[in-house]
Amino acid sequence: MSHVTDTLNPCLRPARERINYVATPSAITTLLFVLFLSFLAGSAQADVAGSVCVENGGVISVNGKRSEGRCIDGTMVRLYGVLAPSLDRECRIAGGEEWRCGLASAAALLQAVKGRQVDCKGNSKDREGQLMAICFIAGRSLNQFMVEMGWAGADRPVTSMFNEIEAQAQTAKRGLWSSDFTPEIDE
């Protein structure tokens, strides 16, 4: 065998010439830093900001526009931790009268965002592929606002962050809680 073959085949090298594959602390630190930057870059790509098109009381389109009664283009965002009724949902007031609570929920959200810019922070998607995010207007959580005003319920299976706020809105009979509203995802 030639000397070149001996140096390429680690099994034929003498023990003192074998390459040490143990990672040094600086190599581990560098790897962790690269992974951390990759994580930040991945979640930053999911953050969106801009004008708002309201789909319903819990879904918006950031930088989208309305066409034929729907939001098109833009990034569809489901307000994280929030359950709002579909547009066609009706609720019943104690006296038996029905009202379009889904439309009222969407109208409340539209009033809150009209002419304003939102900043949405999120890094996961729902089963429909919509970004799940907490959205802010001038530093105030739009998600919390919708639950606090009673125009949406807390999405308890997802998070407990709005449970107490929902209970306060229920007790005060604000928004949807003035009727028989039960939070659930309307398909």
pLDDT tens digits for 38-94? 444 444 447 999 999 999 999 999 999 999 888 999 999 999 999 999 999 999 887
* Structural domains of the chain, with CATH: 3-44 (no CATH), 47-178 (2.40.50.90)
What pLDDT is stored for residue 96 in this prediction?
A: 83
CA of residue 59 relative to chain centroid, distance: 10
Cα dihedral sign, 158-160-162-165:
positive
As a whole number of angstroms, the distance between CA 97 and CA 39 comes to 51
Q: Region 153-165: what's the mean pLDDT?
A: 92
Cβ count within 10 A of residue 1? 7
